[in-house]
Amino acid sequence: QSPLTMIGSRAFSLVFSLTAREATARTLFHHRPLRPPSPPTRPPFHSAASAAFMQKRDFIISRYYNKALRNIFKMSAPPTSIHKVDSDRKGPDPGLTASHLFLTSSDPDRDEGVLQSLPLGTNGLSLGLCGLAGVCGELERRGVSPFLTTVPYWVAMGCAALLFVTFTARLVVSPRARLRMEATTPQLCFAYGAYQMTYLFVLFRVVKLACPACVGPGIHAGAVLQLVVIGLFLAGCWRTGLKPEPLWNPPTINCAVTAIVGIAALGANHWLVRSSLWYALALQVLFVPWQVWRTVRDPDIAPNCAVSMMQAPCSLNTLTFGVVRRGAKLARLGPVFLGDARAEQVLAHALFAAATLVFWLTLYCLWARRGPIRERGFDLSFVALTFPSCSTAIAGLQYASPPADAAASGADGTLLLLLRIYAFVVAGCVALTVVAVALGCAKIAVDELRRRAQ
């Protein structure tokens, strides 16, 4: 062959090999099913004890790594990888088509108890019930009948406290390997942000009735727990390269709940209340624009109802700022956050505008993902509709309060009437949504308990 022919054939072979390698890399790293890593090669065992240890380790990896990532939550995997995971299973995957309050599996060797099978999404449901109680409390302040507010308030808080205690027991009986995996995997660790918020709400609304002296130390313990959760989560995101998306919100913006529950127990001027609110506002400025931009542009990010968490930071911070202003006025402390009443009113308008904008962008993202949501049916990602939407509803009710309320917008006349109509419509829709999600989870749990009893 001539030199030109040889050079051409070599160049064609090089380009073809690089293209094949790139296609193989994309297949392996972008669309690979979630499977446990294969055990590394190792020399023959030197003792029976080391052999038993290695077998136990491989069993834990194969049992908890793959099943937890596939059945507990599927928050960030694109739909293509979901279908590939389903393709090698016999029958429908209950973790994807009807994600359960208690996990189910078609595997015949599954022998976990009911308590150990409790998924991380239980924290989202309990937190949503706490949010429903908050909506009922705010509606009662607006003059709604106590029968429609007080009774649902205590029913929701009772169920939330029961789920919180149950999940705490699950943490006690779960294997350490499983807890370690959940703490180091950001797609699972984020649910512990909801656990920390539920802890604070249950502490302030339920435990306070029996032991008022426990609230103050408990709030400080909750603040420390928040720092631990956000540290583990951000470390996992740094290690895996997970960029801001809706699942970032529970373990980061949950610091605002520390300010909410700390106002009545510690005072609006307490350093923990003010620092928690400043901390939450700083995280909103850092993460929300990036997160919203990525989520709106890419429908593969949170391709289910988990995208509803996108509204949480702005709504929760708006609600927290209103509670701080209301608490400062009741204590006759004046504008404790910025030191100027006019500046705080401007900040209140800006926060409500941002919360309303992100709320409607969240509805747009839900509409853009209606196909995958309808295809997968009811699953645990629906609990993401509860607490973030409750925060939006409470923020709207506060903003539409009469001008005498410290958390109000200051509007009157026709504008105040329109704000009230908007706030009450949103609050009613949110309350019905939370009830529907809770009943759906309860039905699935009862069906699973019946299946286990057979």
pLDDT for residue 3: 55
CA-CA distance, 308 to 75, in Å (whole number)?
11
Show Cβ contacts of residue 167 under 8 Å, excluding neighbours closer than 6 positions.
118, 122, 123, 126, 195
Which tokens is 234 given? 């951000």
Give whole-number Cα distances, 385 to 44, 170, 243, 310, 312, in Å.
Answer: 52, 24, 22, 10, 10
pLDDT for residue 54: 54
CA-CA distance, 25 to 31, in Å (whole number)?
10
Q: Which run of H or E residues covers position 149? A: helix 146-173
pLDDT for residue 112: 65
* Contact status, residue 350 vs residue 91, Cβ threshold 8 Å: no
Q: What is the CA radius of gyration of the chain?
A: 25
- CB neighbours of residue 71 within 10 Å: 20
CA atoms within 13 A on the CB side of 18: 6
- CB neighbours of residue 372 within 10 Å: 16
Which tokens is 357 given? 């904008």
* Contact status, residue 385 vs residue 305, Cβ threshold 8 Å: yes
Backbone angles phi, psi at 319, to 5 degrees: -65, -40
Chain position carrying tokens 């709400």: 201
Give whole-number Cα distances, 336 to 73, 107, 254, 316, in Å.
Answer: 41, 58, 22, 19
Tell me which long-range contacts 370-374 makes (C-beta under 8 A, separation of at least 24).
372/79, 372/303, 372/304, 373/304, 373/305
Backbone angles phi, psi at 193, to 5 degrees: -65, -40
Under DSSP, is residue 270 helix (H, G, I), strand (E, B) or coil?
A: coil
* Contact status, residue 317 vs residue 259, Cβ threshold 8 Å: no
pLDDT for residue 1: 53
Show Cβ contacts of residue 315 under 8 Å, excluding neighbours closer than 6 positions.
355, 358, 359, 388, 391, 392, 394, 395
pLDDT for residue 389: 95
Q: Which run of H or E residues covers position 214? A: none
pLDDT digits (tens), the chain, 454 positions: 555 566 556 655 654 555 544 444 444 444 444 444 555 544 444 445 455 555 555 555 455 444 444 444 343 333 333 333 333 333 333 332 333 333 333 333 345 677 888 889 999 999 999 999 999 999 998 888 888 899 999 999 999 999 999 999 999 998 888 899 999 999 999 999 999 999 999 999 999 888 888 999 999 999 999 999 999 999 999 999 999 999 999 999 989 999 999 988 888 888 999 999 999 999 999 999 999 999 999 988 988 999 999 999 999 999 999 999 988 888 877 787 787 888 889 999 999 999 999 999 999 999 999 999 999 888 888 999 999 999 999 999 999 988 878 778 888 889 989 999 999 999 999 999 999 999 999 988 888 888 888 7
Would you give the DSSP letter of residue 68? Answer: I
How open is the CA angle 71-72-77, to the nearest 5 degrees?
A: 75
Give whole-number Cα distances, 422 to 56, 284, 317, 358, 407, in Å.
Answer: 57, 25, 19, 16, 17
The answer, as to whether pTM is greater than 0.85, is no
CA atoms within 13 A on the CB side of 8: 5
pLDDT for residue 328: 86
Start-to-end Cα distance in the chain: 76
* Of the candidates 414, 380, 332, 397, the residue with the CA atom closest to the CA atom of residue 142: 397
CA atoms within 13 A on the CB side of 450: 6
